[in-house]
Amino acid sequence: MAWYRETLKADWSTPNDVKAQFSSASILRDGRVVFNIAGNKYRLVVWINYAYRVVYIRFIGTHTQYDEIDAQTI
């Protein structure tokens, strides 16, 4: 998975760092970020702790499944 390999190498300290690497990422509040992955077939929601450089995967699913969740609270 390309996203995973890129994220392992990343050193994001701000949401702007994420956008610089993944311009299509949607930056939400409180460290949440939504990525389109696998050729835009799936959505990936993560919570990033920028201070510790840790990325927590909160959701992976199709666009239809994504529409059924609240990315801010999942």
Q: Where are the beta strands (DSSP E) in the chain?
A: 26-27, 32-37, 42-49, 54-62
**How many domains does the structure of the chain reveal?**
1
Angle at 23 between CA 4 and CA 11, to 5 degrees: 50
At 1 the pLDDT is: 72
* 26/71 Cα distance (integer angstroms): 11
- Tell me, yes or no, whether 35 lies in a domain: yes
pLDDT in tens, 18-37: 999 999 999 999 999 999 99
pTM of the model: 0.93
Residue 65: both structure tokens together: 């499944």
Look-up of token digits 């927590």? 56
- Tell me, yes or no, whether 73 lies in a domain: no
Domain span at 60: 1-68
CB 69 within 8 A of CB 42: no
Residue 12 has pLDDT above 80, yes or no: yes
Pairing outcome for strands 32-37 and 26-27: antiparallel
